[in-house]
Structure 1
Amino acid sequence: MSPLPFPVRIAAGLVVTAVEQVRELPRHAVELPVTAVSQALQVSMRLQQTVTELAIKGDRALGTLRPVDDVPSWATFDDDLPAPDPLAPADLARPRPDDTPRNGTVSTLRPARAGIPIDRPERPARASNRPDATAAAPAAVPEYPTLTVPQLRGKLRALDVDDLSDLLAWETAHENRPAYVTMLTNRIATLSQEK
């Protein structure tokens, strides 16, 4: 038997392929949405990778033209906190991260730099630690009883040692909040050291 001509064989192959595709059509119809979504996600991820690579190359190129600061301007910290004194006892050299006193008593909150007197009246006996609504607020900062720690920190630079001592005396007599006592004590120590 002689072989059929080449174009006839190609046509027969196309017909068989078409029949196979028609038989697989229900399965492909179900898979089509999944395949389409998958391909769209792949294209999206490739595009994101390309854009990111371009941004990295751009950063490198611009970095050679303009040096970047080691410490960004927004990453500043409260410069009122004194550096640890190497001669001071480790317990009192710096406040704890949670701003609580090391041994929990107010009398030990004197700054690590010895010789800085802080006059504190004795705390009156109270049934609760809540401030008395009729108690006069400190004259230097009348709104002091309602200030949060960040709000108070913003006002400390404008106050002198006498005003800070008044605030500290009021705090220890009324609320005696460790974070406030520590912040005021540290600021008094900083100002006293600058004199």
Structure 2
Amino acid sequence: MATAPYGVRLLVGAAVTALEETRRLPQTILTYPMTMVSQVAQMVMKVQQDVADLVNRGDETLENLFPPKDEQAEWATFDEDLGDDEDDSDDDGARAGDGERLTEGRFALYSTGEPETVNPVTTEDAPAEAPEIVAELDYQTLTLAQLRARLPSLKVDDLEALLAYEESTKARAPYQTLLANRITRATAK
């Protein structure tokens, strides 16, 4: 078979391509808006990257020409700049000084420190005797999250002993609530 002239082959190829594109037109029309949005978003991100690159290059050049000074602005204050006369309490009223852990308010979840107040029911003359489970778990050093992780393995009697111990010593509300809720769930089973 003889080869058709170049122009004829070009016209036949264009006609076949047009026919195929016409057959795919319904699908193309459905995806066209998303394709356009994707291309526009890609173009915008490319422009943003180019602008950021130019700004970075400008910063580098300006730093080389005018080195920054190591001075602190007058309005800037830092914790180490504050004297002892400044009030370092947060919005919950808990004080944090000298590296102490906060044991009240929103920070009680992570507290393991000594209580600031004693349960009024407990008298100072009769210290609470610690049950075996307290020593076994090293309860005094547990955070609330650590206690929560150990609760499923404890029996109801142990939970009640821990709750009584907590009420008679530190009386931390989050610990009491956690223990009481666990006792309720365990007895309901």
TM-score, normalised relative to structure 1: 0.40
TM-score, normalised relative to structure 2: 0.42
Higher relative contact order (CA 8 A, sep 6+): 1
